[in-house]
A and B are shown apart, each in its own frame.
Chain A
């Protein structure tokens, strides 16, 4: 099958879960003998075209704009233009698969121009990202999300909670929606390293208890609650350090909060880490925490599990579907720093409990291989081809 995947991010352009998700399905679909084309945006020092098994076409936006939303429409046009070139060389696709509202316009246009069925994956919704539809921009994005869900023959969500959300928000017929969670490439996590040397590289000492949080510094991720939990944790374990990996517009607010609470020297912001460094960071950390307020899936949870870490997560959305409390992780109330602190203290204090969580998490994560998930995805593609409508 020839598959065109539209995504605004693809490694090394890694912003959130979309990039890793698209990379995972592209590699797996390619191994399964499909011809996969990724149409994505460019990134400094990467080629316009790359053959990684999957064929990666990086698009430059050739016209500047003062406004983000106009820029999105522009890059969608440039996606369409590039698809024209790709079709000339390789032929028409059997499926177009667009990811999130950012590439929906190109996906819908190409569906009608080429008369090829569209599959659309929701990685999150505007309603949750923006904490409600409260602005003109949000209303427009909400409408594009509805439009994509209407035009797509199959809609994919990354968790069951998100499936419910989509059905509720956009009135999508339930039989049209398929849940295909994020997966993980376990082989990437199978390496050993010199823990002391790597800790030193990150400016950490051997005797520190390292808590890790990974994600964009946005409201969704709930890192403020983790910082608020720190004073309580430090009362019991003063040698604890919190490492936050990621970038975002709340960086300064979070830093200020840490200093206001008197834990500024115990919280470190590392910004974005490249893939290699992030994998190393997981390996030298003691506990992974995911205190999100909203998490459609939570790919970081899988990465923590694959790295042999106990994970402590908020009981929200997709995270509840990955983690079973007290079995392969700890589930705490969202937006409750005390609950979070106590869970962290318990995991640090009880080595037997710690090892139990790690052992079970390692088993759990094996269920999320990209190959098995892509069998489901191919079924969705076949259903989309069979049921395609172009009126």
Chain B
């Protein structure tokens, strides 16, 4: 997909899963379709949380407004 790194593949997946607010946060198991190992996915989510591109609640993740715009920028 347009030579994206894993970080942006994950943002893109959260976008298309409509995980754009806390009510639509998705569990890690739905993100495993990216084909990453769980440990890899965990370190990726840590990085994205640090950059404020995603937010989490009770182990589920959703895009922050900045993360949503970052995800959209891939395709615009």
Contact = CB atoms under 8 A, between A and B. Distances in A.
Contacts of B45: none
A297 to B, nearest CB: 13
Contacts of A205: none
A218 B16 contact: no
Contacts of B43: none
Contacts of B33: 66
A73 B55 CA distance: 27
Interface string A77-101: 0000000000000000000000000
A114 interface: no
Contacts, number: 76
Interface in A303-346: none
Contact of B8 (A16, A60, A249): A249
Given A15-B69, A247-B69, A272-B69, A61 B18 contact: yes
Interface in B1-56: 1-2, 4-5, 7-8, 12-13, 15-21, 33
Contact of B16 (A15, A44, A64): A64
Nearest to A19: B76
Contacts of B13: 66
A13 interface: yes
A130 B2 contact: yes
Interface centre among B2, B5, B33, B76 (most CB of A within 10 A): B76
- Per DSSP, chain A at the interface is loop
Interface string B44-76: 000000000000000000000110111011111
A16 to B, nearest CB: 4
Contacts of B74: 248-249
A15 B21 contact: no
Given A14-B69, A15-B69, A67 B16 contact: yes
Nearest to A271: B66
A9 interface: yes
B12 A247 contact: no
A219 B16 CA distance: 23
Interface of B: 1-2, 4-5, 7-8, 12-13, 15-21, 33, 65-66, 68-70, 72-76
